[in-house]
Amino acid sequence: MSRHHNMAETFISSSGSLYAAGSFTLEVQAAYLNMMANTFMRAPGEAVGSFGLESAVDELAERLGMDPIELRIRNEPDTEPTTGRPFSSRHLVEAFRAGAERFGWSERSATPGTRREGEWLIGMGVATASHGYVRLPGGAVRVTLSAEGSLAVDVAAHEMGMGTETTTAMVAAERFGLDLDQVTVRYGDSTLPGEIIAGGAQQTAAVGAAIGAAQRNVVEELLKLAGQDSPLAGLTIEDVGCADGGLCSLDEPDRFDSYTSILARADRDELSVEAAGPPSEEMAAWCMRSYGAMFCEARVNAITGEVRVSRFLGSFDCGRILNAKTAASQLRGGIIMGLGLALTEETLFDERNGRIMNPNLSEYHVPVHLDVPDVDVIWTDIPDPHAPMGAHGVGEVAITGVGAAVANALYNATGKRVRDLPITLDKLL
């Protein structure tokens, strides 16, 4: 670390929750260096830390003569091993089994170096992905229900390509019983309420929790405005739900009053409410994480040492998937970032002065189109009953485990174990 930016990465954050064991020793040692200050990279600590843990599990499976998936399943814990907290939702075994079937894991040879096509040695590897669930306090939104029945959501969140506007609109439409085209989202402006950061894969959960709180407040106000002439007269907030552009009794759906009718009788053009999500108490009561089973098929040229990842599959358990299209994009993008971690990305320093020697993209290599194989993603889509909307983050989990899956596939192809990244051809010759 640099004394200009004291940030020790959480390399061990997954190690205490993934596998059952009788004892643990977990620590991070930090050294201060006179170098450029480090800062966050997506899935900080966990992407790199998972390489060490999941490579070690693969080595253990090799020494035991056991299939690496079977070893992981046999050591699946009932509760979080280091704290005893119950898991809020964990379907990692299902993710492994579904992924193994889809990927064709049964075709893998347990003996390294036995599959070959001409000059190319072929191997398969697997690793576990894991990233913590986060919902930071303070997330707030403002919702405005118009007399025409449309809804506007204002939130100081920002978009980085993960589909913030779409997911926010989908959550609001579901909560208020509206069609998606009746919801407008205004965001990316610090004058709006909320200040919800896109970090820690927590933005969707934070925005969703705030929308849920705002919806409850809106329903409460609408019941007051509805009056005694409403079919809803005498009902409480616990008795009604939102559907078809209005409120209805949960027990008697025919007792219905539309938003437009309620606001018209009250002579209101709109109803605006600002609310923050409830405290994130779920994080203290439960072990909450996103998981994945990462499958890699890699080829190594026996003459040149060139590496080509030919197939990759991520089988994920991230709670309920709110938007399949944007989630798949996020998961594929994370895997591609993980391939860069595994094979191409390396910051080179001048040992005399600590300066970066490859400070631009012509010398610091990230994966480009020709480097990226066929990337497949699937998920369990099992909601977490303790998370807002049942959803966990998908933005960062897909980077974790990729480095180890690639290294384990290369070991299966060549019999050579590489323990430092990136895995360049000189380390395989």
User: Which distant-in-sequence residues (6+ apart) come within 8 Å of 231 by Cβ?
Assistant: 249, 254, 255, 256, 257
Q: Is 396 a residue of the active site?
A: yes
List residues bridging with 330 in a β-sheet: none
To 5 degrees, how large is the angle CA 426–CA 427–CA 429? 65
Rounded to whole angstroms, the Cα distance separating 211 from 86 reads: 27
Specify burial of residue 361 (Cβ count, 10 A radius: 0-12, 13-18, 19+).
exposed
Pairing mode of beta strands 151-154, 289-301: unpaired
Q: Which two tokens stand for residue 372?
A: 């990226």
The CA–CA distances, whole Å, from 135 to 123, 157, 359 equal 39, 14, 34
| 123 close to 295: Cβ distance less than 8 angstroms | no
Nearest-CA neighbor of 315 among 374, 379, 384, 393? 379
Nearest-CA neighbor of 95 among 333, 336, 321, 322? 321
**What's the half-sphere exposure (Cβ side, CA atoms, 13 Å) at 403?**
31
Rounded to whole angstroms, the Cα distance separating 171 from 152 reads: 12
Give me the residue label for tokens 């997954």.
Answer: 14
Amino acid at 288: M
Q: Which two tokens stand for residue 159?
A: 């978009």
Which one from 54, 62, 297, 396 is the annotated catalytic residue? Answer: 396
The CA–CA distances, whole Å, from 293 to 22, 42, 68, 266, 408 equal 24, 19, 12, 54, 13
| 285 close to 383: Cβ distance less than 8 angstroms | no
Helix (H) or strand (E) holding 157: none
Rounded to whole angstroms, the Cα distance separating 255 from 268 reads: 22
Cα dihedral 243, 230, 146, 203 sign = negative
Q: Which two tokens stand for residue 393?
A: 């983050």
Enumerate the active-site residues.
396
